[in-house]
Amino acid sequence: MLRLSIMFKHPAIWIMALACGLAFVAMILAGPAWVWLLVPLGIGAQLLNEYNLHRHVFHLDPPRRQWAFDLLYQAHYGHHDFPTNHGLFFVPIWVALPMLAFNFLAVWGIAALFGAADAIWIAVAIVPAGGVLMFMVYEWFHMTAHLNLPKTAVERHVTRLHNQHHFRDFGKWFHVSPGGEIIDRAMGTDIDREALKSQQRMEFIRTLGMSPDDPRLVAARARFAGKYGLSTAEITQAARVSG
């Protein structure tokens, strides 16, 4: 119940959950039977989307302009800065909804371009059904990885790998969802056990290589302190270059 309570306080979660639920209801009531076979395709596509968004967008080099940095801070940098802050666990609504709309329209458009008679149902099965279902799985496991509570074997496995991303090398292990490590291994962004034994923790790991007192970080923390419930003590500690 704790995890559900934390998740559904975030607007993107219940809106995406609603979109996923409506997709499944629509497919049950009116969709062609064969379209259910495309749901796993949406799940696989979302695993790739999760990896690429995390690696190539959320880990962009820090923008010079403060407004752009603030967007990236809310999207992901802030989560690394304060990895146990509940408000920073989840993808912002202004990322989730455009991603949903773009993916849906792209799949619908491609299917229609190739003359598929049921292009709309293809898009429904792949994006809000399969894709958003996997998105919810991602959010669940990502949140769980950052909470100190009893975990299943799968949740412990995900937590162990995700902690390496946060506290060993932020340029590795971009997946979070179970099974996503296959993509990291294929793309060379995994950390094997032998390398882990000798690899040192990266400098300024929690600020993605930036000096903790970088003016952009200081400004973003001050701007979003109220929104995310950051205390003065937390902000002061985060800005320390050593310790």
> What pLDDT is recorded for position 196?
65
Euclidean distance between CA atoms 166 and 147, whole angstroms: 14
Residue-wise pLDDT tens digits, 146-171: 999 999 999 999 999 999 999 989 99
In a domain, 243, yes or no: no
> What pLDDT is recorded for position 223?
96
CB neighbour list of residue 238: distance below 8 Å, 6 or more residues apart: 81, 82, 206, 207, 212, 217, 221
Band of residue 240 on the pLDDT scale cut at 50, 70, 90 = confident
**What is the extent of the structural domain holding 184?**
2-238
Band of residue 112 on the pLDDT scale cut at 50, 70, 90 = very high
Residue-wise pLDDT tens digits, 62-86: 999 999 999 999 999 999 999 999 9
Which of 8, 173, 172 has its CA nearest to residue 86?
A: 8
> What pLDDT is recorded for position 243?
45
Dihedral pair phi/psi, residue 133, rounded to 5° = -60, -45
Euclidean distance between CA atoms 194 and 178, whole angstroms: 22
In a domain, 46, yes or no: yes
> What pLDDT is recorded for position 242?
61
Query: What's the angle, vertex CA 212, arms to CA 192 and CA 157, rounded to 5?
Result: 30
Average pLDDT over residues 34-49: 97
Residue-wise pLDDT tens digits, 179-235: 999 999 999 999 877 666 666 666 789 999 999 999 999 999 999 999 999 999 999
Minimum mean pLDDT range among 66-75, 125-134, 136-145, 163-172? 163-172
* Averaged pLDDT score across all residues of the chain: 93
Map the chain to HEC letters: CHHHHHHCCCHHHHHHHHHHHHHHHHHHHHCCHHHHHHHHHHHHHHHHHHHHHHHHHHCCCCCCCHHHHHHHHHHHHHHHHCCCCHHHCCCCHHHHHHHHHHHHHHHHHHHHHCCCCCHHHHHHHHHHHHHHHHHHHHHHHHHHHCCCCCCCHHHHHHHHHHHHHHHCCCCCCCCCCCCCHHHHHHHCCCCCHHHHHHCCCCCCHHHCCCCCCCHHHHHHHHHHHHHHCCCHHHHHHHCCCCC
What domain count does the chain have?
Answer: 1
In a domain, 33, yes or no: yes
